[in-house]
Amino acid sequence: MIIIPARLASTRFPQKVLADIGGLPMVVRTAKAVEHLDRVVIAADDEKVIAVCKEYGIEAMLTSTTHKSGTDRIHECATILNLDDDEIIINVQADEPFIEPEVVEMLISKLKNLQKIDEPFIMGSCYNSINADSAKDPNLVKVVLDSDNNAIYFSRSLIPYNRSGRANYFGHIGIYGFSKKSLKEFCNLSDAPIEDIEGLEQLRAIYHQKKITMLKVASTGFGIDTKEDLRRAIEIFL
């Protein structure tokens, strides 16, 4: 199951999810990139998004306007859909129109393997290697890993600090996966101070000592976080 949270009332970039990307609204282009993999549902906060998705034959449902995060929004959607507790749910961000389907497939496979070994909490995401210049961008979230490829910390800052001169930097890719049971557990956790400080909801899991399995992928896709990103995306289709 793939659920795409689409918040029209974005504070930093209003109506970003409906921005035109090569003749398609951003959220529609994102959905079409992965619709052949599994059932895709858009979890929207505005009827305008629902209408646009319907126009392009994309399933969508209206969710609350008060959700703090996209993960809370997909949890509401999963609850309305009455999905089984062991259903793997992939949260693809609406502003990732260049997400590679093979990345989604790899994450699904990884999480299903965790289910087979009865991991108590199943949450995963992806990362790739980035250079030092890219790591300085606060819009590109960095992740530090432990020896088992679980996330230790995510930050908008450049981490780790390169005192030795030998640092490697890993960029977080905006895709998450959960079992339905773990998604519910995550959304029932109390908010963490660090998630508000960084503006990164995944830090809630780390704060409450939950594992986030990280999968290294070779991805050239990029999210649309700024108007400069949007211009770059549009140029690809010119």
- Give the C-alpha separation, 145 to 212, whole Å: 10
Residue 131's H or E segment, with its range, is none
- Give the C-alpha separation, 88 to 98, whole Å: 22
Lowest-confidence region among 7-11, 80-84, 134-138, 150-154: 7-11
Res 127 pLDDT > 90: yes
Residue 149, Ramachandran bin (φ over 0: left; ψ between -120 and 50: alpha; else beta): left
Lowest-confidence region among 93-107, 113-127, 171-185: 93-107
pTM: 0.90
Q: Do the Cβ atoms of 138 and 156 come closer than 8 Å?
A: yes
Q: How many CA atoms lie within 13 A of 158 on its CB side?
A: 13
pLDDT-derived band at 201, boundaries 50, 70, 90: very high
Share of the chain above pLDDT 70, in %: 94
Task: State the CB neighbour count (10 A cutoff) for residue 109.
Answer: 11
Res 178 pLDDT > 90: yes
- Give the C-alpha separation, 141 to 157, whole Å: 8
Task: State the CB neighbour count (10 A cutoff) for residue 116.
Answer: 7
| Burial category of 238 from C-beta neighbours within 10 Å (exposed 0-12, middle 13-18, buried 19 and up) | exposed
Question: Can you name the residues that pair with 150 across neighbouring β-strands?
Answer: 213
Per-residue tokens: 169? 């930097």
- Give the C-alpha separation, 81 to 238, whole Å: 39
- Give the C-alpha separation, 136 to 206, whole Å: 23
Res 155 pLDDT > 60: yes
- Give the C-alpha separation, 121 to 77, whole Å: 20
What's the average model confidence in pLDDT over 4-13? 78
Question: Could you tell me the residue range of the domain that residue 206 belongs to?
Answer: 2-236
CATH code for the domain in which residue 33 is found: 3.90.550.10
Residue 22's H or E segment, with its range, is none
Q: In terms of pLDDT, which residue wins out, 69 or 177? A: 177
pLDDT value for 238:
56
Please give the tally of structural domains in the chain.
1
- Give the C-alpha separation, 100 to 91, whole Å: 14
Q: Do the Cβ atoms of 43 and 6 come closer than 8 Å?
A: yes
